[in-house]
Amino acid sequence: MAISQNQIDLVLSKANIVDVIGKYIDLQKKGRNYVAVCPFHDDSDPSMNVSPDKKIFKCFVCGTGGNVITFVQEFNNITFFKALALIAKELNIKIDGLKEFEDKKKYNSKESILFEINKAAANFFNGLLISSLSTKAKNYLKERKISEQEIERFKIGFCPKNVKVYDYLIKLGFSQENIFESAIVYKSGIDYNCTFENRLIFPITNEDSNIIGFSGRVINSSDSPKYKNSSENLIFKKSQLAYNFDKAKKEARIKNEIIILEGFMDVISLESIDIKNSVAIMGTAMSDYHLKLFSRVAKKYKLFLDGDKAGVNAALKISQFLLERKIDVTIIENNTGKDPDELVKAGDKNLINQMIENSSHPANFATRFFSKDLDIQNSIKVNEFIEKVISVLKYESKENIVDSVIANLASITKIEKSTLFKTLNKAVSKIKVSATNNLYSQENNIDDFNPGQDYINRMLNSFVQDENSHFEIPEYGYETIKKDKIVQANVNEVKKNHSKNFAEAAIVWNILDNDSLLDSLDKKINNIENINVKRTINFIIDQYKRNSYVGHNWEQIANEIKKLNKNYCEYIFEIKNRHFTALQKTLSPKGLEDCFDAIELYKIEDEIMLYSQKINSTNDNELKINYAEHREELLKLRNKIYEKRRKI
């Protein structure tokens, strides 16, 4: 059955946009509207407005806006139809045709069964904790100042000795094979014992709140090991642990910041003082899995590990991993001799917040930490100190940060900056250069420049962007692609994406409405690089040419194009509902030209950025000149478009 805009409109009319958005971010009433700190860019003052009368939201800094569906879509980084389904379900409204757009099942039947077993066991352990068999465990939790609310929120449990966990799971209908695969029990002779017997049990969940395994902690100091985790199986992978991510992702998304801790006790304690954007990697190394997971919700990482030598080394190792991948990371300096959990228990809430606020760049952290007992008269120790700082700094590509750290190193060690830059450059040159890396080059910091350097610098600064160029596009644009497909370096970058994506949407919507610009569009279609947008437009053009479509009925095309690709259908519905206030006028020929200019400018800016990265990624002066010349030609093309806009 076809999806109908009437059904979507019913959802929009029934949904209270203030109530829905208020579940994700804090809203403050201001006159007839509400304001909030925008979760879609680095915002400190409330720049997002929500209008209950118009049922829309809009950020007047980054430009992100739309209706209640598009907010849920953007915030959760999901598809338009999935966001629609979430809201419709809450309102008890059935949307015909949505079923065929549902995601394929994320987990297979075996994984789902293991999740069910773990859930049943977690509830069992949690129930046992309040029984008379668990008095010692309850007293231990009281001593650790873990409240009943925290016990319930994190589903903390306990398994007394000789409790028949196996029999309980069998009675629930689970097979022996699956119970053993879950590793909750093991066979000892003729008995079936619980893996976490006489331990406090902390369920570990994945991003979807499914319990993937457990960690058991002793309550008797004489017992060992202190912690025992589930064995690896189909759903429990030790290299992919991210305790509390499912609960922390909302707050991390709002703050655009995630705090990385060592253990689950640290997470639980920070939650108790309203720090709700923390996760624990539980002794595992930071991996690309973690990076992909965390980057969906936050662009800034703060490392809050123990302040001992092992904790410092772990923090610096993670920092190197993140800096190499161009992630914004800082380290929370902890000189107290206590871990985060101990600090909370000691009542140091204000100190913790101050420490988090004052987190510093890993290279600055390394400089301070390793310089504490440095004897600058001992050349070997000085060299070791420099190497430790350089081992972190070599992954940093921002010249202002590099300059600052090098200046600080020079001040501490009394070594010339030029010498330190040469040491840094040697370290940088050993890093494997890839297309995604933007490595540091010391081109503006050493006195003996290569002969072509002035020529390179002149080209790099020959052209500046005209901020006043005017484009007759209906609006500056809203986002139309998933957040994990773009890099939001700053608000200007967001606006460039907005402009390009809106220009594409405006072209699609115009041709859906009528064929007045069909000939012009047919000639320029190859200027659109987005293959999905191009296929959508070509499909509509073909429908006109076949006399199968006469315009003014976008739902007809949306449901016809579903046969080609259901994602194209969703894209058309998204255009209608995301840009509903801006697509009420037909594009003029000049408006169409402006749309293509916006698309071309985005492409040019992208290439300029690529060549800028290439310039910074090589020490070969000949290559630098070659890349700079390419970049100069692109800048000329960009300025030519700006000049054309000024004349119109």
pLDDT-derived band of residue 9, with 50, 70 and 90 as boundaries?
very high
Task: Report the relative pairing of strands 28-30 and 65-66 from DSSP bridges.
Answer: unpaired
Give yes or no for a contact between 420 and 406, defined as CB atoms under 8 angstroms apart.
Answer: yes
pLDDT tens digits for 222-281?
888 999 999 999 999 999 999 999 999 999 988 889 999 999 999 999 999 999 999 999
Q: Which of 73-77, 206-210, 218-222 has the highest mean pLDDT?
A: 206-210
Q: Say yes or no to pLDDT of 432 above 90.
A: no
pLDDT confidence tier of residue 493, bands split at 50, 70 and 90? low
What are the extents of the domains in the chain? Answer: 5-100, 109-236, 257-440, 453-474+485-646
List C-alpha distances in Å: 254 to 23, 74, 121, 250, 257: 12, 12, 33, 6, 8
Across residues 348-373, what is the average pLDDT?
95
Topology adopted by domain 5-100: DNA Primase; Chain A (3.90.580)
**What average pLDDT does the segment 292-303 reach?**
92
> What does the DSSP 8-state code read for residue 243?
B
How far is it, in rounded angstroms, from Cα 96 to Cα 505? 25
Whether residue 478 has pLDDT greater than 90: no
**pLDDT mean over 177-201:** 94
| Superfamily of domain covering 109-236 | DNA primase, catalytic core, N-terminal domain (3.90.980.10)
Contact between residue 529 and residue 603 where contact means Cβ atoms under 8 Å apart: yes
Return the pLDDT at 203: 97
The answer to whether residue 3 scores a pLDDT higher than 50 is yes
* Location of structure tokens 């800048």: 635
pLDDT band at 606 (very low <50, low <70, confident <90, very high): confident
Task: Cite the beta strand spans of 409-491 per DSSP E.
Answer: none
The predicted structure's pLDDT at residue 490: 43
Q: What one-character DSSP code corresponds to residue 435?
A: T
- What pLDDT was estimated at residue 494? 54
pLDDT given for residue 104 in this prediction? 75
Please state, for a pLDDT cut of 70, what percent of the chain lies above it. 88
Write out pLDDT tens, residues 81-131.
999 999 999 999 998 888 878 777 888 999 999 999 999 999 999 999 988
Dig out the tokens for 577 from the structure.
Answer: 């509902």
| DSSP H helical ranges for 299-378 | 309-324, 340-345, 349-357, 362-371
For the chain, percent of residues with pLDDT exceeding 90: 61
The residues, any chain, with a CB within 8 Å of residue 373's CB and separated by 6 or more, are: none
CB 482 within 8 A of CB 77: yes
d(CA 626, CA 318): 36
- Euclidean distance between CA atoms 5 and 572, whole angstroms: 11
Q: What is the mean pLDDT of residues 364-388?
A: 95
Whether 5-100 and 257-440 share one fold: the answer is no
Query: What confidence score (pLDDT) does residue 438 get?
Result: 39
In angstroms, the CA 639 to CA 617 distance is 26
For CA atoms 333, 336, 337, 339, give the dihedral sign: negative
Handedness of CA 534, 540, 544, 546 (dihedral sign): positive
> From 3.40.50.2000, 3.40.1360.10, 3.40.50.1240, 3.40.50.880, which CATH number describes the 257-440 domain?
3.40.1360.10
Q: For the segment 536-567, what is each residue's pLDDT rounded down to a tens digit?
A: 999 999 999 999 999 999 999 999 999 999 99
- Listed in sequence order, the residues at least 6 apart from 324 whose beta carbon sits closer than 8 Å to its beta carbon are 395, 431, 437
- The arithmetic mean of pLDDT across residues 516-531, rounded, is 89
| Predicted confidence (pLDDT) at residue 643 exceeds the cutoff of 90 | no
Quick one: average pLDDT of 337-365? 94
Measured N-to-C along each axis, helices 589-616 and 491-513 cross at an angle, to the nearest 10 degrees, of 150
Main-chain dihedrals φ then ψ at residue 253, nearest 5 degrees: -65, -40
- Token digits of residue 147: 């409240």
Looking at residues 489-508, what average pLDDT do you find? 71
Q: Which residue has the tokens 């995604």?
A: 436
Which of the four pLDDT bands, split at 50, 70 and 90, describes residue 492?
low
Mean pLDDT, residues 561-589: 83
pLDDT tops 60 at residue 201? yes
Q: What is the pLDDT of residues 137-150, one digit of tens each?
A: 999 999 999 999 99
Please state the rounded mean pLDDT for residues 173-192. Answer: 93
Of residues 465 and 540, the one with the higher pLDDT is 540
Task: Note if the bond before 225 is cis, omega within 30 degrees.
Answer: yes
Mean pLDDT in the chain? 86
Report whether pLDDT(488) > 90.
no
Closest CA to 292 of 107, 74, 484, 433: 484
